[in-house]
Amino acid sequence: MADPFSEIITLLQPKASYSKLVHASGPFRVHRENVNEAFYCSLLTGRARLEVEGKEPLVLNAGDFVLIPAVKSFTFSSMDPPPPADLVNHPVEGEDGIFRLGASDADPEVQQLVGHCTFASPDADLLISLLPDLIFVRGEGRLAALTGLVRDEARANRPARDVIVENLLQVLLIEAFRSGADPAPTAGLLHGLADVRVGPSLRAMHAAPAHSWTVQALATEAGLSRSAFFTRFEGVMGMPPMSYLQNWRMTLAKHMLRAGDLSIAEISAQTGYGSSSAFSTAFSRYVGCPPARYSKTIATQ
């Protein structure tokens, strides 16, 4: 059976913007605006406070990990002692490659691995919308180890570095999402996969996107009546089942068109459309241009 979550992480094509080790001593506050990238932080020692726009502040302890797939702005500050109201620090890189906040000659009270990554997929906004908007994991050593590997590889000048970093980021993202079980999850893919009824229908769609799915057929996969399934799917996923299926089929179609390995007729068949004309009509309505023109536009970029 297909793993929808792994498919989405792979299609996102994560790329490392940067990853760094930060040491802080004394009071500090770092504020970032207009980030518009994925942000992750692994706290190695000490305590700190993370404030993200639209979220309750988080108190991080040693061993905690935070991942935000699409952060716009955030503030990271000390807890012991709290910073003065007007204090804003800027990390300074030392000769050893470590960034420091506060006195450079003092022993660090807080140590953290932080990083940003971007998603190369043109469909990143759609794919990210299926993921939780914040993951907070306490005391998971595997995440700290993976974050350290991403940092070390991103800073090195080794053969195939970009390929290794991309694969490490995929592993880091998957590990973070599956470790960050939320007792009250918001609508989205993780919530859907965890739902005993919605999960089987999601896996069925991803395993066979070419199948002629109907709401009734998906309801049978879920073991529910048609109306009960429709209501439950929409509540768990935040959209109706056929809208999710179309979004996924169009995402796959765009990926296939960018790869350039298949004809439009072959893509039509693999995404569940009975003819090239039916696929072209659906694609044009969804994307805004016919698949042939989309393919040519991608080729010239």
Structural domain span for residue 293:
189-300
Kindly tell me the sign of the dihedral angle through the C-alpha atoms of 79, 80, 84, 88: negative
Tracing tokens 């043109």 back to the chain, one arrives at 122
Tens-digit pLDDT profile for residues 191-243 = 888 889 999 999 999 999 999 999 999 999 999 999 999 999 999 998 999 99
**Domain match, 161 and 86 both:** yes
**Domain match, 13 and 155 both:** yes
The answer to whether position 184 is within a domain reads no
Give the SS3 label for residue 167. Answer: helix
Tracing tokens 């053969």 back to the chain, one arrives at 159
Digitized pLDDT (tens) for each residue of the chain, 301 residues in all: 457 878 888 888 888 887 888 999 999 999 999 888 899 999 999 999 999 888 889 999 999 999 888 888 999 999 988 999 999 999 998 888 889 998 777 889 999 988 888 888 888 887 887 787 888 998 888 888 888 888 888 777 788 888 888 888 888 888 888 776 554 455 678 788 888 999 999 999 999 999 999 999 999 999 999 999 999 999 999 899 999 999 999 999 999 998 889 999 999 999 999 899 999 999 999 999 999 999 888 766 6
Tens-digit pLDDT profile for residues 74-93 = 999 999 889 999 999 999 98
DSSP 82: P
**Domain match, 116 and 223 both:** no
CATH code for position 85:
2.60.120.280
The pLDDT value given to residue 79: 92
The pLDDT value given to residue 157: 78
The pLDDT value given to residue 300: 65
**Domain match, 108 and 202 both:** no
**Domain match, 25 and 130 both:** yes
DSSP codes of every residue in 222-288: HTS-HHHHHHHHHHHHSS-HHHHHHHHHHHHHHHHHHHT-S-HHHHHHHTT-SSHHHHHHHHHHHHS
- Choosing from 121, 155, 179, the residue where a domain stops is 179
- Choosing from 146, 179, 212, the residue where a domain stops is 179
Q: How many residues does the chain have?
A: 301
In total, how many domains does the chain have? 2
- Choosing from 121, 147, 179, the residue where a domain stops is 179
The answer to whether position 230 is within a domain reads yes
The pLDDT value given to residue 248: 93
The answer to whether position 278 is within a domain reads yes
**Domain match, 201 and 175 both:** no
The answer to whether position 242 is within a domain reads yes
Residue 119, burial from CB neighbour count under 10 angstroms (0-12, 13-18, 19+):
buried
Task: Note whether 76 and 49 are within 8 A (CB).
Answer: yes
Tell me the residue ranges of DSSP E strands in 126-248. Answer: 135-137
Structure token pair of residue 255: 């990926």
